Amino acid sequence: MTNIAVETFILGPLETNCYLLTSGKDAIVIDCAPEPFPLLEAIKTRNLNVTAIYLTHMHLDHIGGVGELQQLTGAEVFGNIEDMYLNEVSFSYGGSKEFPQLHDFKATDLKPGKQFIFDQPMMVLDTPGHTRGSLSYFFPALNCVFVGDVIFMIAVGRTDFPGGDSETLLNSIRNRIFILPDETQIHSGHGPMTTVIHEKRNNPFFT
């Protein structure tokens, strides 16, 4: 079985969790916040081959460094283009309208289903509610899922920005995240790692 390492880089003014997954010298990145220097430096100094950048959603604090990362690596960016509406939404409401240079990258539309990363399956899960196009990435071999801002330790993502919907969000968590094995680690866009069973038992939105 391919060994995959997961590293967390806390980047940008909103302390966004950005994830670097590596297998030998090959790597992928999940989300990339503004001010991505520590992540870029790690990639350069370790001479990593970043093959893809995956976006959980397109709020500025998750995409603000993608352009720089793509310029450095030449990696293809994948995300749900339903979130492109956020390019025309003010920063005050979660978008990036005032910062066109920070969303100046091309994203390939990504739909739910199975992909293979480092010869291991990655399930792309449709988890709207925080934004219209929010995606989560489940790696069965790692027992972990990367959820962006869908769910946090004893909290859920905000839904008061354009495209957010609380009922849709809770249904996404119930029907996409809580059906995963109880021991699955939940890697959120902010804050500490948690697990499916911990959130089933303790998250006040579901208990």
**Pick from 83, 102, 137: which is nearest to 13 by CA?**
102
- Is the pLDDT reported for residue 1 higher than 60? no
Average pLDDT score over residue span 141-149: 97
CA distance 95 to 162: 9
Average pLDDT of the chain to the nearest whole number: 94
pTM for this model (two decimals): 0.95
CA 99 centroid distance within chain: 20
* Whole-number Cα distances in Å, 76 to 49, 51, 58, 163: 12, 7, 15, 25
Digit-coded pLDDT (tens) for 27-51: 999 999 999 999 999 999 999 999 9
Phi-psi sector, 89: left (phi>0), alpha (psi -120 to 50), beta: beta
Digit-coded pLDDT (tens) for 49-99: 999 999 999 999 999 999 999 999 999 999 999 998 988 888 788 777 777
Question: Which domains, and CATH codes, for the chain?
Answer: 5-202 (3.60.15.10)
* Whole-number Cα distances in Å, 31 to 39, 68, 133, 175: 11, 12, 14, 23
| β-sheet bridge partners, residue 125 | 136
